[in-house]
Amino acid sequence: MEIFLSTILVLFVGTLLSTFRILREYERSVIFLLGRFYKVKGPGLIVVVPLIQQSVRIDLRIRVLDIPTQDLITRDNVSVKVNAVLYFRVVDPKNAINNVEDFMEATEQLAQTTLRSVLGQHELDELLAERDKLNVDIQQILDQQTDPWGIKVSNVEIKHVDIDESMIRAIAKQAEAERERRAKIIHAEGEQQAATKLVEAARILATETQAIQLRYLQTLTEIAGERSSTIVFPLPIDVMNAFTKLASKD
């Protein structure tokens, strides 16, 4: 009799303890009443009626999901390997339990396929130069598709884009050719600007005789300052014209 009473007491205490549960601030409990969804409880002290109600505990904190390396081919037919990291959290515990069997596995698989699909639509240069824009595109697509599961995707970050060694050498050659092209363009633009300035200077000298004299004196000053055993004195053009007129009169 005493053993029977002890057993009953132990069962009663165990049932009483399982009836009261304490949930932390970041936890919620999805309650089912006889197999049907009843309500979401928490945080704090909650009551779960044994045998009639069942509960599933959900963590609402942000989760970090490492997306494994994915092999993909870009739009310009370059084979690359890309991995990323995904940040998400449960915002609707009811949908996270009722609408998908395993929201962690479902989110991971969806992230892998979305990563390959989105990045495969872009060229290699865009993958390397516009990573922030691609992160936003992937995040928006994932957030929209996981919304029925009660999941909020807050951020996606592409970590590494691995390229074959041969492709790296090709990119380096392309970058070098681009630098040479820009250098030639800058040199040509400089020559064009210099020629324009020379034309303007020639027009001024042609209309202003005093400007020619000043230029003549400046040239003499520059020649005098040089260390040379031979000094050439340039004659102004008007002096040459005067000699030419005298010669024609004779």
Residue that has been written with the tokens 């691995």 in this structure = 162
CB atoms within 10 A of CB 211: 13
Strands (E), the chain: 20-23, 27-33, 36-41, 44-47, 53-59, 63-73, 79-90, 151-163
CA angle 77, 82, 87 (to 5 degrees): 140
Tens place of pLDDT per residue across the chain (250 aa): 666 666 666 665 566 667 888 899 999 999 999 999 999 998 999 999 888 999 999 999 999 999 999 998 888 888 899 999 999 999 999 999 999 999 999 999 999 999 999 999 998 888 888 999 999 999 999 999 999 999 999 999 999 888 877 666 666 676 677 778 888 888 888 888 888 887 777 777 667 666 666 666 666 676 666 665 565 555 555 555 555 655 565 5
CATH of 63-169 among 3.40.50.1000, 3.30.479.30, 3.30.420.10, 3.40.140.10 = 3.30.479.30
Compute CA 57 distance to the chain's CA centroid, rounded to the nearest angstrom: 36
Cα–Cα dist 38/123, whole Å:
50
């040509």: which residue's tokens? 188
What is the arrangement of strands in the sheet containing 53-59, beginning at the earlier edge strand? 36-41, 27-33, 53-59
Burial string for 116-125 (b: 16+ CB within 10 Å, else e) reads: eebbeebebe
Q: How far is CA 108 from CA 113, 131, 146, in A?
A: 9, 20, 11
How far, in Å, CA of 170 to CA of 163, rounded? 11
Task: Please tell me whether the overall predicted TM-score, pTM, comes out greater than 0.75 for this model.
Answer: no
CATH 3.30.479.30 boundaries in the chain: 63-169
List the structure tokens of 229.
Answer: 């055993």
- Rounded CA gap, 47 and 63, in Å? 28
Residue that is written with structure tokens 């996270």 in the block? 96
Residue 117 is predicted with a pLDDT of: 92
